[in-house]
Structure 1
Amino acid sequence: MNELAGETMLRRLPVDDRTRTTCEGCHGELVWATTVAGPNGRGGKLMPLDPLENLAGNVAVTTPHRGRLLARVLTKDEAFDRPHEYAAMPHFASCPTRTKPELPQDVVALQQLRHKPRRRGGRHR
């Protein structure tokens, strides 16, 4: 970690040019990482990440091999290992062109219709 006058210097994710691309929506730079298996699901999927470290991100990135990034999504109670991991933000969370579509006026969102399931009463034998 580099510190200058009490501020944390953010690092660029260490990848080679093969894993750098641009977003089709915002035309910003992004890098690709392979997810590892964890409590949130299976691994082996590609995840687009912002190329600069972001301390507000929920993805811990390691570089076991030069130019290859491995990413694990952190749960709420996990933290990243600062000297050995980079804190990254998934690009789909920070892309300015990614917005939720607005529903037409006569359509109701399913979340508004959902309610808690009722408990069925019954006799215990």
Structure 2
Amino acid sequence: MKPASHHLATCKYCRASIVWCLTSANGRRQPVNYEPDETGNVAVMQGADGKLYVRAVTAARPEIRPGEWQAKPHQATCPARKLPGRSSGSGQRPTSGVRPVPWQR
């Protein structure tokens, strides 16, 4: 099962098709890939209010219930987005082009 086309959105980093879901744990928004994926670790369903809800597929609850489809969170597959906590440099910002100005009173 796929989400309805009116839920379709586009990732601003890689232009991939995604849907925005609310997490069942805390109600935060989470981007999920639009295409269902049998290797995904989340289950998505449409609630009675028409919104999409997502829950984690865990060892305690591995089954996909009727009305749900399995997918991957978009953060796991987005090729253009850097993950937080990963830096590509020494950790210091470059200061080229900055001229110190004396303090004036």
Consecutive unaligned residues of structure 2, counting only runs of 5 or more, are 93-105
What is the alpha-carbon distance in structure 2 between the residues aligned to residue 97 and residue 29 of structure 1? 14
Structure 1 gaps of 5+ residues are 1-10, 38-42, 108-125
What letter is aligned with 1:36?
Answer: S
Q: How does 1:75-90 map to 2 (within 5 A)?
A: 75-90=58-73
Corresponding residue number in structure 1 for 2:77: 94
Residue in structure 2 matched with residue 40 of structure 1 by the alignment: none
Cα separation, 2, equivalents of 1:69 and 1:52: 14
CA offset at residue 68 of structure 1? 1.9
SS of residue matched to 1:86: strand
1:52 equivalent among 23, 31, 35 = 35
Q: CA RMSD in A?
A: 2.4
Mapped partners of 1:66, 1:105: distance in 2: 48
The aligned amino acid for 1:57 is: G
Counterpart of 1:84, as a letter, is: G
The residue that corresponds to 1:33 in the other structure is: 21
- C-alpha change, 1:64 and 1:97, in structure 2 (3 Å) is same
Equivalent residue, structure 1, for 2:8: 20
Determine helix, strand or coil for the equivalent of 1:56.
coil
Q: What TM-score results when the alignment is normalised by the length of structure 2?
A: 0.69
- Number of equivalent positions: 90
Shift of 1:73: 1.5
d(CA) in 1 for partners of 2:23, 2:90: 39
TM-score by length of 1: 0.59
Deviation at 1:66, TM superposition (A): 6.7
